[in-house]
Structure 1
C-alpha cells in the first residue's frame, strides 16, 4: 500500500506543478513575443 500511496502522491504533485506552470508559460509567451534567434547564432 505504501508504494501505491507514494505513486499517487507523486502523480498529484506532478499534476499540480503542470497545472501551475502551464498557464504561467502561456501568459509569458503571450506577453513577450518570441525574439529572433539571430542573436544565439
Structure 2
C-alpha cells in the first residue's frame, strides 16, 4: 500500500513538473514570437 501510493506521488510530481515546463516553454515561445513580429 505504502509503496504504490509513493509511486503514485512520484508520477504525479513528474507530471506536474512536466506541465509547468510545457507552460513555461509555451509562454517563452509566445513572447519570442511577439517580439520578433514587433521587430519586423
SS in 2 for 1:5: helix
Number of the residue aligned with 1:9: 13
Where structure 2 has 5 or more consecutive residues not aligned to the other structure, the ranges are none
Where structure 1 has 5 or more consecutive residues not aligned to the other structure, the ranges are 34-41
Considering only aligned residues, what root-mean-square deviation do their CA atoms show, in Å? Answer: 1.2
Q: Normalization by structure 2: what TM-score?
A: 0.65
Moved over 6 A (4+): none
